[in-house]
């Protein structure tokens, strides 16, 4: 039997809640999980990331500068750290921060541990979710409420300016599990290359709702 995890992923400090419930293999590494989160949440993999678990930071050591010092945080390579070390029982959590400038912090919580047949493919699946993640480079949680308010007034001059700046309209309530799961199916296992992730993200944004 294989072990899969159901993870609740919630973007912190945003209301109404932006969330996904993801089913992933327990032996996935965190670099692979980062790719899954990018696809499932709606991000575009344009910035650095880190998972935080206690005093450990799980990061992409190949594409970032992370300085360690005595008594400071410990940095681990996401491609070499696995989910089952961090999540061992229901209720276990860690955080995932994407884009250190805007500072989008997500909380990951283990909701359920599942046993599945050995012939089940090691893929990620978005079981449920609600609402679109914010647009890239939109200013973090401090600016997001203003963006949502502007997008609720399509006849205003501010709306037209915002759409021009974003490069198109934005619907905060939009979410399609069909789009997400079609793209997740394209992620390679057990590691995801940058070109493969770009291909999955492009597929996600092309699939009709």
Structural domains in the chain plus CATH codes = 2-132+173-206 (3.10.290.30), 134-172 (no CATH)
What is the bridge-based pairing of β-strands 56-59 and 74-77? parallel
Spatial contact of 123 and 187, defined as CB atoms under 8 Å apart: yes
Provide the β-strand partners of residue 96: 51, 106
Residue among 7, 90, 14 nearest 51 (CA) = 7
Look up the pTM and report it: 0.93
Q: pLDDT by residue (tens digit) across 122-139?
A: 999 999 999 999 999 999
Q: pLDDT by residue (tens digit) across 147-193?
A: 999 999 988 988 898 999 888 889 999 999 999 999 999 999 999 99
């Amino acid at each position: 039997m294989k072990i899969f995890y159901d993870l609740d992923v919630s973007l912190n400090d945003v209301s109404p809640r932006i969330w996904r419930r993801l089913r992933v293999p327990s032996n996935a590494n965190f670099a692979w999980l980062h790719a899954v989160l990018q696809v499932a949440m709606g991000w575009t993999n344009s910035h650095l990331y880190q998972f935080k678990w206690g005093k450990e930071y799980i990061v992409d050591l190949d594409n970032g500068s992370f300085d360690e010092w005595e008594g400071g945080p410990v940095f681990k390579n996401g491609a070499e750290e696995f989910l089952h070390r961090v999540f061992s029982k229901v209720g276990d959590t860690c955080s995932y921060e994407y884009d250190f400038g805007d500072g989008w912090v997500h909380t990951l919580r283990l909701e359920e541990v599942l046993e599945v047949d050995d012939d089940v493919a090691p893929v990620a699946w978005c079981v449920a979710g609600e609402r679109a993640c914010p647009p890239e480079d939109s200013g973090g949680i401090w600016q997001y409420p203003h963006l949502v308010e502007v997008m609720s007034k399509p006849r205003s001059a501010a709306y037209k300016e915002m759409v021009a700046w974003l490069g198109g309209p934005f619907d905060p309530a939009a979410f399609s599990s069909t789009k997400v799961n079609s793209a997740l199916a394209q992620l390679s296992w057990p590691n995801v290359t940058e070109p493969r992730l770009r291909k999955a993200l492009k597929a996600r944004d092309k699939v009709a709702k």
